[in-house]
Amino acid sequence: MKNKLWPLLATFLVLSSVALAASLVRSSDGSSVLAALKKLGYDATLEKSGAGVPQIRINAANDYVIYLYFYDEDKHHPGYEGLQLSTSVSLDGAIDLDDLNYWNRQHRYAKVYQDGEDSVALESDLDLAVGVVLNSALKEFMKKYLDNLDSFSLEIVGR
């Protein structure tokens, strides 16, 4: 009995280990990322930029819109190696660069900057080229971004 189970167990472990290693991706595309986001429960829509590059619109709490942009860092390989989450908000009052600097000093994973005369942006990047597990990497990427969006909203936007 012991001798019969050994090869079965070994085969199972080999296959599951190979599957785990193979689940690493180094690039992705609009449909795969959209499917992963929807699976995570996000209200997301796939769009295309003027240049035909996919981008995903995510409706977040408090009427915030997050855009997920795709970057084709390596033209020799298929897919997009870089992802970026970005939210731009117009402010009524004057923008104080000291406030943005203080925010950048206090937070990790994202940065804020003035992206127009009366608007500020929150931005965060994820490099897939390193080899990531797409679904869980997106889950953590979104989680950390939403945490930062909360403090961006409170400390910069004042909502």
The distance of closest approach from Cβ of residue 39 to another protein in the complex, given in angstroms and rounded to an integer, is 14
User: Which CB, 23 or 45, lies closer to another protein?
Assistant: 23
Instruction: Convert 60-83 to b/e letters by CB count within 10 Å (16 or more is b).
Output: beeebebbbbbbeeeeeeeebbbb
Residues whose CB falls within 8 Å of the CB of residue 62, separated by 6 or more in sequence, listed in order = 153, 159
Residues that bind another protein (CB under 8 A): 6-7, 10-11, 13-14, 17-18, 20-21, 23-24, 71, 82, 84, 97-98, 100-101, 104-105, 108-115, 121, 123, 125, 127, 129-133, 136-141, 144
The distance of closest approach from Cβ of residue 71 to another protein in the complex, given in angstroms and rounded to an integer, is 8
Q: Which two tokens stand for residue 36?
A: 């992963």
User: Which CB, 75 or 105, lies closer to another protein?
Assistant: 105
The distance of closest approach from Cβ of residue 50 to another protein in the complex, given in angstroms and rounded to an integer, is 20
